Amino acid sequence: MQQIIDRRLSGKNKSIGNRERFLQRHKAQIREAVRRAVDGRGIRDLERGEDVHIPKKDLSEPVFGHGEGGVREVVRPGNSEHVKGDRIAKPKGGGQGQGGGQASDSGEGEDDFVFHLSREEFMQVFFEDLALPNLERTQLAETPEWKSHRAGFTSDGTPTNLHVVRSMRGALSRRIALGTGKRRELHELEERLALLKRENPADLEVQRMLKETEDRIAFLKQRIAAIPFLDPIDLRFRNRVRTPVPTSRAVMFCLMDVSGSMDESRKDLAKRFFILLYLFLTRHYEKIDVVFIRHHTQAQEVDEQNFFHATETGGTVVSSALVLMEEIIRARYPSSEWNIYGAQASDGDNWHHDSGRCRELLAQQILPLCRYFAYVQVAEQEQNLWDEYSKLAEEVRHFAMRKATEAAQIYPVFRELFKKEGAQA
């Protein structure tokens, strides 16, 4: 029999097992808190944690206890209303009394239990109703750009990159290494010369030894003086190398149909898809810009609040959003500096003569500038826009389209859209 021992370290005064059991027990309240957070948050701040409030009454557990048996007489201090034999009525409000976090004139009350969901726990609950498979790491094809950074020192370089301290340190080390032996010998010869001068100067042998010692001392001093103070081999220059790094900037265009046929449930499906794409891109780029474009018969760039919650009526002209997207790219996001991604959500209903123009705009103007463009239809029925986009999907590799009619389909659709691109990375 196989046994698995969990040796993960818990934080101080924390228990992983107890926390998981607590989350499982109060999953309904936690799911409701996450739902409220999704409705009230923006795309950029969705993945942070969340404070969850659970009423104190929901934390209590039923227990069995032994009641007091027999007939007992108890004296209650301060009783001025009841005598022996009176029947006391049940408290009003189902026995709950005062509490629930509200003020009480008796100084008693109950506060809600509040705890914080971590980022990982929040995302787990958020993806729960999407029937997530095991999340696999996918990679987008990233266009490398070159970035220079420090890489030690080199013996060649320009004067502006000269490191003075490192060069002088090398020069000092060289002078010490080359002159130590000569200085030691010079010191010994000078001591020997002093001893010879104290002996008989008329002795021919002493005179010969004095001459040899003085010549040797002069030679060593000349050699020591010949050691250069700073040699070209001592120079050290700051070395900088260029390495390829992923492009750190990306822009995400969110295009959504807000005509009368797009009800709140379909907008919610679109919002979930946009959130997934944003979270996916944040794993690959340091800076993410999000551009919201909504359209009915006319397109308009709006903020996130108006993008998801504003109500519109009327017909649908999808090409107006694509034209506005191209204008914004040309004006603010050149493709040479930005990685451009597009996500479009619609129910597929479009003015019949406009769908062909949408396909032409994508093929000729937008897709050449984009890294990837995904179209999600939040309705089952295939209409003229779906037919035109299907022709384009067969020809262009970085354009993909899928259907999603319920929340459980969003993540599988998203994963399918980006799986092909990730497999080639």
Which of 254, 228, 194, 19 shows the shortest CA–CA distance to 117?
19
Could you give the CA distance from residue 96 to residue 74 in angstroms, rounded to a whole number?
A: 24
346 neighbors 405 (Cβ within 8 angstroms): no
pLDDT at 291: 92
pLDDT at 324: 93
pLDDT at 45: 58
Q: Hey, how many other C-beta atoms are within 10 angstroms of the C-beta on 286?
A: 10
pLDDT at 240: 85
Could you give the CA distance from residue 139 to residue 424 in angstroms, rounded to a whole number?
A: 8
pLDDT at 421: 44
pLDDT at 406: 82
- The CATH number that domain 249-418 falls under is 3.40.50.410
Which of 369, 376, 367 shows the shortest CA–CA distance to 397?
367
Could you give the CA distance from residue 338 to residue 369 in angstroms, rounded to a whole number?
A: 10
Can you list the pairs that 219-222 forms with residues at least 24 positions away whose Cβ atoms lie under 8 Å? 220/182, 220/185, 220/186, 220/189, 221/186
pLDDT at 77: 75
Q: Which residues of the chain have pLDDT under 50?
A: 95-108, 130-142, 420-425
pLDDT at 119: 62
245 neighbors 283 (Cβ within 8 angstroms): no
- Which residues, in sequence order, are bridge partners of residue 52? 115
Q: Helix-strand-coil percent breakdown of the chain, rounded to 5?
A: 45, 15, 40
pLDDT at 134: 40
Q: Enumerate the domain spans of the chain.
A: 159-239, 249-418
Q: Which amino acid is at 404?
A: A
